[in-house]
Structure 1
Amino acid sequence: MNNPIVIRLLSQRSSQQCKRGFRCYPIRSFTSTRTHRQIRNWESDEAALQRLKVNQGRLMDELHHTCQWGTGKPWGVAATETGMSRLALSDADKQARDWFVETTQSLGCSVQVDAMGNIFAIRPGREDGPPTCAGSHLDTQPSGGRYDGILGILAGVEMLKVLKDHNVQTAYPVGVVNWTNEEGARFPISMVSSGVWAGEIPLDRAHNLQEVGGGTATMKSELERIGFLGSLPASYKAMPLAAHFELHIEQGPILEAEKQKIGVVKGVQAYRWYTVEVTGREAHTGTTPFSSRGDAMLAAARMIALSHDSARKHSALASTGILTLTPGSVNTIPGAVRFSLDVRAPLDSTVEALEKEFKEQFAKIVSKESTGGLAVEVNWQTDSVSPAIHFHEDCITAVREAAVSVTGKEALVRDMVSGAGHDSVYASRHCPTSMIFVPSRNGISHNPEEYTNPEDCAIGAEVLLQSVLRYDRQRAFKA
């Protein structure tokens, strides 16, 4: 058997001194048996990491191989130029999950499935302890792409392959987590299963979520149907993680526009989701003058426009993605309208201020003075609250150092705040966490044309690999 590669240990202070041109002092290193210590310098330590290279061709071949399950709308002529439609707990999702379990087991991982169908593939380390994990998701939007979530899981699997190829022994266990229903596209709470794991969403509420579109299936019934209702409690107490790193496409235009390769994600902006209901009075469009109308649709349209304009003034974001009205007849004034409102900003205080402003302004919009006709009513429901997240500095440092090491240039790396929610939001509640962004062509995501070129996918995967190993090394040094 070949001698295992042992990733040595480096104090943060020594790293900084060496980078600044100071002499590199020897530091301690544990062997695989930890029976004695060997002296190594910083350059040889970094060289060990540099030898661990992601296989770009293998990564992309495997990614596209898994996209046979849930292939969506074509956007080009090549076989790989399609979107994805792999909704959570569907037959296609089961096939992808089966592949994930079989593949990670073949790479020496033990696999556990919890009561939300979260899959934890764990590779043992020299010492026992909670694993340092790469995590993301295999489910997609109904008309999504091949990279959102999927790249993070496939990069995690590639990490396991590289470790096996080079016979690397990590100090502590490392692994990959596939979180269930991150998108919230089939069962309408995004990141629901990592939320249950974090103790933020009750298990019963998640299990009883009913699929959108009029179906009768629940999360629990579908977990049972596809064989992924695990016996492990869905809890950070039953499955603790030492750290969580997530590689993800940016889903925005910044990295591409700035010609940069890696975003070091320091946190996630705050957001709140609301359902707003406007109630007026149905009436004939041809016989009812404006002065006698209670037009719920007109009021809702003004609210949506105001939310957009106000958010822009606060350097925030507001969007409406769902709008329903009744009775839905060409010649009948709508009597009831329901619309979603998604409000996001880097600071919790900004989101809170916008909520207050919207409620005040919406109340004015529905008044008789504003409508020029009959007054209408407006009611709010808060569906989801996600405070701003600030990731752990140790993980951020690991990602930043890995990014500079892999790209070779600090100018190709930038700090970022994620505009979208991810499972890392809930993971960060109970373990050190950070994320890695790679460029998205034209900033497009949740769309079949979502694309990140193979080189950038591989760079991101290598940064993920190094980040996990650097954190593992850091844990051992602190032990």
Structure 2
Amino acid sequence: MTFHSMWAELLPIGRSPASGGYRRFAWTGADRDCRAWFKEQAETRGLGYETDRNGNQWAWLGDPARGDAVVTGSHLDSVPDGGAFDGPLGVVSSFAALDELRARGAEPTRPLGIVNFGDEEGARFGLACVGSRLTAGQLTVADAHRLTDGDGITLPRAMEAAGHDPDTIGPDPERLARIGAFVELHVEQGRALDLSGDRVGIASAIWPHGRWRFDFAGEANHAGTTRLADRRDPMLAYAETVLAARREAELAGAVATFGKIAVEPNGVNAIPSLVRGWLDSRAAGQDRLDAVVTGVREAAEEYAAAHGVDLAVVRESFTPVVEFDHALRDELARILGKDRDPQLTVPVLGTGAGHDAGILSGSIPTAMLFVRNPTGVSHSPAEFAAEDDCVAGVLALADVLEGLACR
């Protein structure tokens, strides 16, 4: 199958007719259909197929038990109303790259794997990269069992309803020990490649990033009869904190976003009793990130006190800076640069987005390739990559896999 035909097959799954975006949430019907697509692609190519203890899918050319495997892939789930490329581009490109290797007559000397990591976006249970975190032992079984979606359904219940045994989840060091290198291809979530005129780039590092929940607790009351002076309105403190986050991010040269909010009792004619907002912040260095979060928290405390509102701040997740394996990164640069054209330099760039490759970097050598995104838009239906750039990404990935696995 061609890249185009695979892409066309996957494109309708989980797409919202209203927004044009995707709602491929973990352990839902759309996720099931994406998993079925992955399994079919593996079986069509005669690859070995398995689902691991944490629900991640694997397709194998060669016996992974031999060890020192080269693995590529990404994820198929999405954020709410996300774009088509974030995650799926890496999975589709992996199968297309394998097809390209076969067309070249390349013979792998190391096992070659393709993976679809489960629940990378964290859209349903609020924690990103659940599948890879569990595998790498960065998420405990107890904490995983406490993850709950907006309807009160726990992760174990959701997995069980989808036909996966939740009692099997947990660290998988034996599997990771078989992998010698993991290379993830991803659409760029920014415009660096578009500005430089390059179709493909190599990742240098992932910025430190995290998610913090701000709970502003006030007093519910009637919107029409309660004097302004008598109100304990948590929405005011929250609104001012959102503006403070923008100021702090600008001062630190970082990014900060309040993109999710929950309000109780959530009535048009009721002053809220509780406003819960989630802060996502990322920066090029740990000191900058600390400055942003500290500044936002201090501002929130000040605003809460001014409006007679109680405040609680909970850090829900955090990932320190990830420096991709330098030797592997340099090998990718050699393969995509001097091996192709002695005059060619492949750009190396950092990113503020988290990825499964970042999670696995603490356990195995990992690297990433980026494909040009002309708009820079991501996590949106407007996310886009031109087909010729996607094909360039497939060929680059095939070159990398040939260089690493067919020596």
Q: How high is the TM-score relative to the length of structure 2?
A: 0.90
Q: CA deviation at 1:386?
A: 0.8
Whose Rg is larger? 1
- Runs of 5+ in structure 1 lacking a partner? 1-56, 76-81
Deviation string, structure 1 residues 200-259 (Cα, Å, up to 9, x no partner):
0013433553333x263x433443444454998653412122111111011222222332
Q: Conserved in 1, the CA contact under 8 Å of 2:190 and 2:373?
A: yes
Q: CA deviation at 1:179?
A: 0.2
Task: Tell me if 1:197 matches 2:135.
Answer: yes
Deviation string, structure 1 residues 130-188 (Cα, Å, up to 9, x no partner):
31100201112331222111110011111222233334222211111110011111232
Cα separation, 1, equivalents of 2:385 and 2:135: 30
Cα separation, 2, equivalents of 1:221 and 1:60: 36
Aligned to 1:88: 26
Q: 1:338 aligns with which of 251, 273, 276?
A: 276
Q: What SS class does the counterpart of residue 94 from structure 2 fall into?
A: helix
Aligned to 2:374: 441
Aligned to 2:405: 472
Cα separation, 1, equivalents of 2:398 and 2:331: 11
Deviation string, structure 1 residues 241-298 (Cα, Å, up to 9, x no partner):
2111111011222222332212210111111111111122334445544443322111
Q: Conserved in 2, the CA contact under 8 Å of 1:114 and 1:234?
A: no
Percent of paired sites with the same residue:
28
Aligned to 1:107: 45
Aligned to 1:239: 175
Figure out how many residues of one structure are paired with residues of the other and give that number. 405
Cα separation, 2, equivalents of 1:107 and 1:147: 23
Q: 1:413 aligns with which of 346, 359, 375?
A: 346
Cα separation, 1, equivalents of 2:22 and 2:338: 33
Aligned to 1:219: 155
Cα separation, 2, equivalents of 1:419 and 1:171: 35
Cα separation, 1, equivalents of 2:249 and 2:208: 13
Q: CA deviation at 1:332?
A: 3.6
Cα separation, 1, equivalents of 2:187 and 2:7: 14
Aligned to 1:276: 214
Deviation string, structure 1 residues 29-74 (Cα, Å, up to 9, x no partner):
xxxxxxxxxxxxxxxxxxxxxxxxxxxx811211111223323337
AA aligned to 2:38 is: F
Aligned to 1:428: 361
Q: Which moved more, 1:347-356 or 1:144-153?
A: 347-356
AA aligned to 1:253 is: R
Q: CA deviation at 1:390?
A: 0.4
Cα separation, 2, equivalents of 1:175 and 1:270: 28
AA aligned to 2:368 is: M
* Distance change in 2, residues 1:334/1:347 (3 Å): same
Cα separation, 2, equivalents of 1:465 and 1:365: 54
Aligned to 2:386: 453
Q: Which moved more, 1:187-196 or 1:223-232?
A: 223-232
Cα separation, 1, equivalents of 2:65 and 2:210: 41
Cα separation, 2, equivalents of 1:142 and 1:92: 12
Cα separation, 1, equivalents of 2:338 and 2:8: 28
Cα separation, 1, equivalents of 2:61 and 2:145: 29
Q: Which moved more, 1:139-148 or 1:455-464?
A: 139-148
Aligned to 1:73: 17
AA aligned to 1:352 is: D
* Distance change in 2, residues 1:231/1:102 (3 Å): farther
Q: Conserved in 2, the CA contact under 8 Å of 1:132 and 1:173?
A: yes
Aligned to 1:394: 327
Cα separation, 2, equivalents of 1:74 and 1:280: 35
Q: Conserved in 2, the CA contact under 8 Å of 1:261 and 1:413?
A: no
Aligned to 2:123: 185
Q: Which moved more, 1:203-212 or 1:189-198?
A: 203-212
Cα separation, 2, equivalents of 1:433 and 1:181: 19
Aligned to 1:138: 76
Cα separation, 2, equivalents of 1:434 and 1:293: 53
Aligned to 2:91: 153
Q: Which moved more, 1:275-284 or 1:451-460?
A: 275-284
Q: Conserved in 2, the CA contact under 8 Å of 1:252 and 1:444?
A: yes
* Distance change in 2, residues 1:88/1:405 (3 Å): farther
Q: 2:263 aligns with which of 313, 325, 328?
A: 325
Cα separation, 1, equivalents of 2:65 and 2:212: 46
Aligned to 2:190: 252
Aligned to 1:24: none
* Distance change in 2, residues 1:183/1:127 (3 Å): closer
Q: 2:114 aligns with which of 176, 181, 190?
A: 176
Q: What SS class does the counterpart of residue 65 from structure 1 fall into?
A: helix
Q: What SS class does the counterpart of residue 352 from structure 1 fall into?
A: helix
Aligned to 2:310: 377
Aligned to 1:266: 204
Deviation string, structure 1 residues 112-133 (Cα, Å, up to 9, x no partner):
2112111121211799323110
Q: How much is the aligned-residue C-alpha RMSD, in angstroms? A: 2.7
AA aligned to 1:326 is: E
AA aligned to 1:147 is: F
- Runs of 5+ in structure 2 lacking a partner? none
Q: Conserved in 1, the CA contact under 8 Å of 2:206 and 2:353?
A: yes
